Amino acid sequence: MPFEIVATRPAPDRTYTKVGRLIAGEDGQVHLFLDGKGEILTIPRTDILCTLQGLSIQGLVLSDTGKRLIVIDRDGREYQVLVSQVREMFRSWPKKKAAVFVDEERVNTPIS
């Protein structure tokens, strides 16, 4: 007998576009670079580690599923990074990088 799972809540289609990189610095900081714009934000490594452990840090939010780290810049724009890539970046400090994405659905939604 086949086994079926039916989703109990509809999930909208989302498009994530890569817009930059999180790069580990020699100074213990994590630098957020956007393609074509350069560095826009510097985040202390300890702030990211605290956020991954569930602590509340201004400008950093862990998604409900815990799979995405959401970085909010000074202008309120949200950038998303996969937690698995951030953890790998910390394990291989400072050699690895993590991709930065934006959620296209949020970008196209007008702000009231």
Residue 41's CB: how many other CB atoms inside 10 A? 19
Q: Which residue type is seen at 27?
A: D
How many CB atoms are located within 10 Å of the residue 69 CB?
24
| Contact by Cβ (8 Å): 24, 35 | no
Segment 14-26 shows an average pLDDT of 90
pTM of the predicted model as reported, rounded to 2 decimal places:
0.79
Q: Strand 68-72 vs strand 29-34: parallel, antiparallel, or unpaired?
A: unpaired
Q: pLDDT of 35-78, one tens digit each?
A: 999 999 999 999 999 999 999 999 999 999 999 999 999 999 99
35 burial (CB, 10 Å; 0-12 / 13-18 / 19+) is exposed
